[in-house]
A and B are shown apart, each in its own frame.
Chain A
Amino acid sequence: MGQWVSITVNGKNYTREVEPRTLLASFLREDLGLTGTNIGCDSSQCGACTIHMDGMAVKSCTVLAVQAHGTVITTIEGMAVNGKLHPVQQAFWDQHGLQCGFCTPGMIMSISYMLAQHPNASELEIRHQLEGNICRCTGYQNIVKAAMQARDELHHEHHQHMQEQH
């Protein structure tokens, strides 16, 4: 009793038959082998499974694969471009923003979306915006520092980009 879905993930189109109840997180992990998206809870609280769907951060454990039909998805595996880390990834490395690494992909996906929405987010705003992502290792301190580093780096990149256009 499958249903066909066609989803673009990290720039590549996948057409697969899925059980209608298949969660998007399971689809990414089991059907596509993209295991960077982790599952940390079953109540949409922890955010380890966060991905970008049509440019928005969503928790893929709370979306059905069939609901993602026709969408464009980015997962953690698609964040680095041509071997260059995304500024949020780089900041996590620079700031020791991870320990066990399990929440990290979801954190990076949430923060990259947050910074796109709130490019000038303050430390306090970053802390509030991270409400949907749980980390047990770091006490969030270096995650917040990483978000602030990435914010500043993205400003810098934006500024450079504008200068190049002029």
Chain B
Amino acid sequence: MAKLVGQPIKRVEDPRFIQGRGGYVTNITLPGMASVAIKRSPVAHARIVSIDASKAEALNGVIAVFTGKDLIDGGTGKLPCGWNVPNIKVPDRWAIQPVGDKVRHVGDAVAAVVAESPYIAQDALDLIEVQYEELPAVIGAKSAASNKTLVHDSVADNITYTWPLGDHAAVEQALAESDTVVTLDLTNQRLIPNAMETRAAVAQWNRYTEEMTLWTTSQNPHPIRLLLSAFTLGIPENKLRVISPDVGGGFGSKIFHYPEEIIVPWIARKIDRPCKWVATRSEASVTDSQGRDHVSTAKLGLKNDGTITGLFVETHADMGAYISTFAPLIPTAFYVCLLSGLYKIPSIYCNVVATMTNTVPVDAYRGAGRPEAAYLVERLMDLACRKLKMDPIAFRRHNFIKPSEFPYQTPVAMMYDSGNYDGLFDKAIASSGYHELIAKRDQARKEGKIAGVGIAGCIEASGPAPSKVAGALGSAVGFWESAVIRMHPTGKATLFTGAHSHGQGHETAFAQIISDELGIPMADVEVVHGDTGKVPFGMGTYGSRSLSVGGSAIVKAAEKVRTKMIKIAAHQLEAAVEDIVFDQSTGKAYVKGSPAKSKGTFDMTFAAYTAHNLPDGLEPGLEENSFYDPANFTFPNSCHIAYVEIDSGTGRVDLQQYCAVDDVGNVVNPMIVEGQITGGIAQGIGQALYEYGAYDSDGQPQSATFMDYAMPRADCFPMIHTDRTVTPSPHNPLGVKGAGEMGTIAATVTAANAVMDALAPMNISHLDMPLTPEKIWSAINKK
């Protein structure tokens, strides 16, 4: 059997999706099921004076209306923070804000209706009368810190934490001794993740066994169960089953513990009926965690020969109205610790000031801190080149960490594992026809067009994380991953993985690995994920970790299965264990030199279960597990190159060519990797050119529907050319790095750099994203 790892195997999950049989939470119907709808605040900041639900309760078909007090009195708890950086102030957050407390963003929950149908539940929402005492809204990551109004009385100056890292004095000295300093003030705008499936929850209470089952659109059902049990719902873990079946995209937004995961099961138990809630898109836009939203000032010190001497950064990060589950991780370890980019920077200092505002909470969105770091670093690199009149590639190469310098300790805590950045750029230059693009740009400019070439080289830390490191940085949980391989008596295998697939194709990629490890056909491998009732405790999927962490657990578990099969084969072939050869291409074990007389996978597994003829002391059965804790992050890196032309009459950007070369280490399924990179690039370009989760000064969201939020469409993109270099990660058994986020991390700044290169002849040095026609036209026309 040919090796499957490395092959572009078509996805085994696709037949159900292309025939309309995706098993999403919203498709679940249970006998006697009632519908839940949530009454939400229409204002950004107000005290809840009173709620009158009598008219709603009187509506035919309404079962009950519940307020925040009902849930608190009924034993629900505050939503916790899972990442506690030093001295953080985590304000109270309830599933539903009680009367007397405040609503703190448009969309904050004030009541829940349960009714016989979703239509009736929606009708009832309109009949609930809420009296608000409106307060001024706190808006703006930076200005929040000087706003007299407090989002939470417990958070002075609206600052929930500050997070300084690096040697401030050394950086100041380096900047003072530099030949020149490049300064950049930037905003990294708010984004809305917008997975196509909105969040949903279905809960079923079993009155006989007192067990609760919750189906929820989560990227990580076990951590959700843990938080529900320990903090918010109070049903013990052994009586609570959380299932995340097919999930329609996540991009980070479905990592977190949301109020509806408390409200829906609480009501289901209260009324002793199954309950279902599905977010409308408008609801998703004001309740799903949002992304980015930094305001930064940066200074880069340089010598005249192009050597970088030091980097100073101050960033205000908007956390929104509450601290979402992992929010404090994003602008700290996932941002500050990536500010060294691909470069040797002798000293770096960054201070992060995290503020509370009357907006939807901010947490991880694809890339999560790392695109913000890459954007800041690579915009600075371009500005440095311009100031020093150096070629953007020569300048970057001059400052690269060299292959011989790995593992490389940056001044911002990360120890990079491997990389060959010159090789990466060589390939990207060849692959994109970079020099031809420059010639094309220059020719276009001669013809009076506005044209630009953008280049960026980016780093990512993926595959979180060594649990000890995560703990030291503030995590409340570990970041290992689990796998159980259950061999069935007939030689078939079921993998139970703690990773979760919501588009990543695990059912295919993981089966490829097991097929190679055990020498059985892919069709004989079933991949099970997303059900706490079936799989061992697992941490789920985010941070491009499934393969490097979860895949490593699979390899380790398979090794144990092989070891036991070899013991059985040795016994039955009357040979010593060390004389047995296990041929992974066929799944056959034989005595060295005698392949004709062999035991196949079926023979060995069947023998394990009959237990008629096992070596003394060997337990029957064949099921092995692994809990794999990674030794380090992995460090994917990339060079992306883009060519744009801008319509001088409208300011519209025409992205004509895009080439991406990424080093994501070894690859299990290149088709899936290419899909991940390309999809990630689209989201990066989306941020650069189109998307903005805007609020007005009253805290009213200005882009809370698909009519207003500029989701990229098919005609926003050219065919994207992707290519790869491979420097295997040295510390995981597959040699893989993350592939899920690199595209987004690199594309945001690559597209922005291309536009800014196009505008360079007009002496426009920087514009904030999104680079909309209006913004560009105004800059060109100095409006």
Query: Least Cβ distance of B742 to chain A in Å?
Result: 13
- Across the interface, B715 reaches (CB within 8 A) one of A34, A108, A127, namely A127
Q: Do B22 and A102 touch (CB < 8 A)?
A: yes
Q: Which residues of A contact B197 (CB under 8 A)?
A: 38, 40, 100, 102
| Residue A79 at the chain B interface, CB threshold 8 Å | yes
Contact (A36, B21) CB under 8 Å given A42-B281, A136-B683: yes
Q: Which residues of A contact B247 (CB under 8 A)?
A: 100
Q: Mark B237-253, 1 if CB is under 8 A from A, else 0.
A: 00000000011110100
Q: Which residues of A contact B720 (CB under 8 A)?
A: 139, 141
Q: Which residues of B contact A80 (CB under 8 A)?
A: 19
Complexed CA–CA distance, A22 and B671 (Å):
41
Q: Which residues of B contact A140 (CB under 8 A)?
A: 682, 713-714, 717
Stretch at the interface among A63-71, A86-94, A156-164: A86-94
> What bracket does the count of chain A residues touching chain B fall in?
35 or more
| Residue A9 at the chain B interface, CB threshold 8 Å | no
Q: Do B711 and A134 touch (CB < 8 A)?
A: yes
| Residue A73 at the chain B interface, CB threshold 8 Å | no
Q: Which residues of B contact A124 (CB under 8 A)?
A: 715
- Across the interface, A128 reaches (CB within 8 A) one of B502, B503, B715, namely B715
Q: Do A33 and B10 touch (CB < 8 A)?
A: no
| Residue B406 at the chain A interface, CB threshold 8 Å | no
Q: Which residues of B contact A35 (CB under 8 A)?
A: 20, 24, 26-27
With both beta carbons as reference points, the residue of chain A lying nearest to B284 in the complex is identified as A41
Contact (A19, B20) CB under 8 Å given A45-B707, A100-B248, A137-B249: no
| Residue B758 at the chain A interface, CB threshold 8 Å | no
Contact (A46, B11) CB under 8 Å given A36-B19, A76-B20, A131-B715: no
Q: Do A102 and B713 touch (CB < 8 A)?
A: no
With both beta carbons as reference points, the residue of chain A lying nearest to B247 in the complex is identified as A100
B residues 222-262 in Cβ contact with A at 8 Å: 246-249, 251
Q: Which residues of B contact A39 (CB under 8 A)?
A: 26
- Across the interface, B22 reaches (CB within 8 A) one of A21, A36, A128, A141, namely A36
Q: Which residues of A contact B162 (CB under 8 A)?
A: none
Q: Which residues of A contact B717 (CB under 8 A)?
A: 127, 139-141
Q: Which residues of B contact A34 (CB under 8 A)?
A: 20
| Residue B750 at the chain A interface, CB threshold 8 Å | no
- Across the interface, A135 reaches (CB within 8 A) one of B10, B119, B196, B705, namely B196
Which residue among A79, A98, A137 has the maximum number of chain B CB atoms within 10 Å of its CB?
A: A137
Complexed CA–CA distance, A95 and B21 (Å):
19
Q: Do A136 and B711 touch (CB < 8 A)?
A: yes
Contact (A89, B249) CB under 8 Å given A99-B505, A139-B682, A139-B717: no
Complexed CA–CA distance, A45 and B705 (Å):
9
With both beta carbons as reference points, the residue of chain A lying nearest to B281 in the complex is identified as A41
Stretch at the interface among B76-84, B375-383, B413-421, B673-681: B673-681
- Across the interface, B20 reaches (CB within 8 A) one of A21, A36, A42, A92, namely A36
Q: Do A108 and B18 touch (CB < 8 A)?
A: yes
Q: Do B675 and A142 touch (CB < 8 A)?
A: yes
Q: Do B196 and A103 touch (CB < 8 A)?
A: yes
Q: Do A143 and B248 touch (CB < 8 A)?
A: no
| Residue B280 at the chain A interface, CB threshold 8 Å | yes
Q: Which residues of B contact A46 (CB under 8 A)?
A: 196, 281, 706, 711
| Residue B15 at the chain A interface, CB threshold 8 Å | yes
Q: Which residues of B contact A96 (CB under 8 A)?
A: 10-11, 671-672, 674-675
| Residue A101 at the chain B interface, CB threshold 8 Å | yes
Which residue among B19, B27, B683 has the maximum number of chain A CB atoms within 10 Å of its CB?
A: B19
Query: Least Cβ distance of A148 to chain B in Å?
Result: 10
Query: Least Cβ distance of A15 to chain B in Å?
Result: 20
Complexed CA–CA distance, A111 and B496 (Å):
36
| Residue B753 at the chain A interface, CB threshold 8 Å | no
| Residue A60 at the chain B interface, CB threshold 8 Å | no
Q: Do B248 and A43 touch (CB < 8 A)?
A: no
The contact sample of 7 A-B pairs, CB cut-off 8 A, is A34-B20, A42-B282, A46-B711, A85-B19, A135-B196, A138-B678, A141-B720
